[in-house]
Chain A
């Protein structure tokens, strides 16, 4: 170990080695690991105002995690249906959004990588980036405009005669789903595009010559080849959707709530930071577990996914 560090300093020179160690040390410990541990610690302590931190009143307790399951102490015996519903609905909706994005992006990625020609394809790939750099809030705002009761979609549907009176897309969560699918769509398309693009066209040609149907070509050749890209796209979209805050705040109907909004309220309105942290940890851990389980089912390894 000592010789390793010595070697490290020798190889880089003292100044550069110090720069590396300090930068990476600050990042790893002060920004990633310790804050998470502090949050964990915070979440398993009683909720007291800051001056009482470290005193006896700041004891360890699992009450915030219990609260998530059973609600307040007075209501013991039954489950905390409201928070649990929101939690499972958030997870289910995030999975749903991920599947929508996958269904939308796989054909497009394949098209851009193998069907579209030269400059045209390059232009399309470049143009994909533009919506991504428009602010998340503004993207949600755009959906609020087009899905509003006097929005374009309602106007068109009424003009065509499909609807008689404006349909409330926002109250029925359609605006939210459309907005969320839109928000992270590029994080799905680019990994799949990169993976599909590296596939040798000859493989597809060969399969076609041997008489495979296009469905079979995709199922047996393209999808297995693109699996790492698909899984990294799905992971990113799922994690970011489950953790989204802006789109649900802006597009969410009055009666539907996202789990992050509960966390946010724990911090900003209820003033219960400890419970907010506990909920944040529940969100984090359940998302990670879910992703790992799904990766296990589809036999994807983390290492190859991140390439």
Chain B
């Protein structure tokens, strides 16, 4: 009995830990978006602020990337949804012997590393452009075009899976009935099959857009000179991080949450509608009652209110008193540093007296602390872990020293570039 209860608690503990692992990082990141500290961190907490959202909005590179991402996302939807639909319809009609091959080839892009897809797309269109004698300014060298095509390669496979799942529930008799009643093939397709597939088209479009929006591995190769939100983000994150990136994450999480809630609501509506249809078919109901509009759903109104109220409160709270608070924190920090310096002076004095006495005992820890403070001046610990500092640090550690020196200001960028590796393997000889 006790063992059973213990087991139950263990299971619940595991589930809780799992969800902490899943959401903890996002929550911590979300919180750092509201701290004034220039390095994203949760503790020590400086001031509550919404200023990082303004910083985010004013970041021209990010905004350009965002525009490109949206455009590419729409392009991918326009390409991947019809292709996925066609792919699923062809699969349904393919002969049994061809079917497994066809299926394997079309599903393969999901499993092929994104890096490989990106490279192959880039090379292929490069050669096509060359064969057609097009210049470098033609569409085949355009990052946006290449990215749309490259992403659509595997996103079409996602959309195809969605259509297959829906088509498996399609009753072909419906289409035959339409044809018997004199509809043309195109009419049967448009008036029978497409309406049946409408929910799947919706989900496929949303999924395609989201998958395109967050893709990095393929995009980084196909984007060439252009940029998307993810590529801009990646270069930002690699070369120094600040809380405006956290602010972006908060925005995305909120949009996702809203999307998930809306999806859930529309799913419930769909279920209710189908139930009512069945009731009508059984003769229990005379006719379908008209459903209220999506935006009049109580759940939708509730969640919209919560989101708007939450955003409003946070933004309002984040704009008042920030400067005062910052001034206070700054003063506190300066006081701390002053205190430390004073303490150090005292200690030095003490040591000097101790030296005079003859007992020498330097306090290692304190000296280190001091150096950091000195090096960083008034910033305190801030920026200790900024890339440029890491570079200095890496420089101390033997082997990497040469490489960093060789690459100079480029930071880590080229440490592992083949030429460096060559150098090294040469020196190994």
Is the Cβ of A13 less than 8 Å from the Cβ of B189?
yes
> A246 touching B185 by the CB < 8 A rule?
no
Min CB distance A284 to B, Å, is 5
Expressed in whole angstroms, the minimum distance between the Cβ of B197 and any Cβ of chain A is 13
Contacts of B43 in A (CB 8 A): 150, 152, 155
Interface size class of B (residues with CB under 8 A): 35 or more
Would you call A142 and B29 a contact (CB within 8 A)? yes
The smallest beta-carbon distance between A220 and chain B, in angstroms, is 19
Task: Fill in one digit per residue for B91-114: 1 if any A CB lies within 8 Å of its CB, else 0.
Answer: 001010000100111111111111
Contact present for B417 and A265 (CB under 8 Å): yes
B113 touching A134, Cβ below 8 Å: no
Cβ of A128 < 8 Å from any Cβ of B? yes
- Bound state CA distance, A140 and B241, in angstroms? 12
Question: Which of A252-299 touch B at CB < 8 Å?
Answer: 254-255, 257, 260-267, 269-270, 272-273, 275-277, 280-281, 283-284, 287
Q: Are B234 and A34 in contact (CB under 8 A)?
A: no
* A27 touching B156, Cβ below 8 Å: yes
Known: A31-B149, A111-B15, A280-B119. A146 touches B24 (CB 8 A): yes
Which residue on B lies nearest to A247, using beta carbons?
A: B216
B227 within 8 Å of A (CB atoms)? no
Q: Count CB-based A-B contacts (< 8 Å).
A: 289
A121-142: CB near B (< 8 Å → 1, else 0) gives 0001011111101111111111
The answer to whether A138 and B248 have CB atoms under 8 Å apart is yes
Q: Which of A19, A33, A131, A140 contacts B23 (CB 8 A)?
A: A131
Q: With A128-B22, A249-B238 as given contacts, are A75 and B429 in contact (CB-CB < 8 Å)?
A: yes
CB distance from A72 to the nearest CB of B (A): 6
B216–A146 touching, CB < 8 Å: no
Indicate if A229 sits at the interface (CB-CB under 8 A).
Answer: no
Does the CB pair A145–B246 fall under 8 Å?
Answer: yes
Partner of B123, one of A33, A145, A273: A273
Query: A235-B111, A240-B113 in contact; A27/B83 too (CB < 8 A)?
Result: yes
Any chain A CB within 8 A of the CB of B82? yes
Interface centre among B85, B130, B229, B417 (most CB of A within 10 A): B417
Interfacial chain B residues near A137, Cβ < 8 Å: 216, 230, 233-234, 237
Q: Which residue of the partner chain, among B29, B214, B416, B419, contacts A262 with CB atoms under 8 Å?
A: B416
- Known A-B contacts A39-B124, A134-B253; the reply to A151 vs B119 at CB < 8 A is no
A14 to B115, CA, bound (A): 38
Q: Give which listed residue, B25, B82, B115, B121, contacts A143 with CB less than 8 A.
A: B25
Complex interface bits, A39-81 against B, C-beta within 8 A gives 1, otherwise 0:
1001000000010010000000000000000011011000011
Q: Could you tell me the distance between the alpha carbons of A149 and B238 in the complex, rounded to whole angstroms?
A: 16
Mind listing 30 A-B residue pairs with CB under 8 Å? Answer: A14-B185, A23-B83, A23-B85, A27-B106, A33-B105, A36-B120, A50-B130, A75-B429, A80-B425, A83-B421, A104-B18, A104-B21, A129-B256, A131-B26, A133-B214, A135-B214, A135-B216, A140-B237, A146-B29, A155-B42, A240-B113, A243-B116, A245-B216, A249-B234, A260-B113, A264-B221, A267-B221, A280-B119, A283-B115, A306-B103
Report, nearest first, the 6 A-B pairs whose CB atoms are least far apart: A13-B185, A243-B113, A23-B86, A35-B120, A35-B124, A142-B25
A-B contacts besides A130-B256, A245-B114, 16 pairs, CB < 8 Å? A20-B89, A31-B121, A31-B153, A31-B156, A35-B117, A134-B253, A134-B256, A142-B29, A145-B29, A236-B110, A246-B216, A269-B414, A269-B417, A280-B120, A306-B103, A306-B107
